[in-house]
Amino acid sequence: MAYVNNEKKSKIQAALKPVFKKYGIKATIARNYYKSTLVVNLKSGNIDFGSDVDVVNVYHVDKYFDGIAKQCLNEILDTIKQAGEWYDESNAQIDYFNTAFYISINIGKWKKRYVYNEPKNIINALHDLGKLEIITIGRSV
């Protein structure tokens, strides 16, 4: 029976902290109501996952994502599976389901969209800090 207890959730959460820090992502980790699914909610970060994606299909990350987004999601999944001692011996053809727990990754939440922290141009960042004054020299006609 699929089940995630608090101890396993805490272990996975500790293992995911360095991954989130590496990619500059803020996220929450929880269990669903029945405690059969580990839920990862990506709140904000330095990765653009695309505007039309809300729920990640954890079985087809390579199909729907590319670049740094695919790399990040695959690393999150690998870390969850390794830290949570995940297994899946299910066989849908004979209606047999045996897995450690289910994994759900959401980009944003129901009413709160994922916030992409778009990197600033260095010149604009210095100007915003008041460390740079832009002087334009033009010709008068």
Domain boundaries, the chain: 6-129
Considering Cα of 99, then 87, then 66, then 42, what sign does the dihedral take?
A: positive
- Buried/exposed code over 94-123 (b: 16+ C-beta within 10 A; e: otherwise): eeeeeebbbbbbbbbeeeeebeeeeeeeee
DSSP-based three-state secondary structure for 10: helix
pLDDT reported for residue 44: 94
Of 79, 58, 71, 85, nearest to 3 by C-alpha is 85
Q: How confident is the model at residue 51 (pLDDT cuts 50, 70, 90)?
A: low
pLDDT reported for residue 125: 62
- Dump pLDDT digits (tens) for 117-139: 877 666 666 666 666 666 666 66
In the predicted structure, residue 140 carries a pLDDT above the cut 60? no
Q: How confident is the model at residue 109 (pLDDT cuts 50, 70, 90)?
A: confident
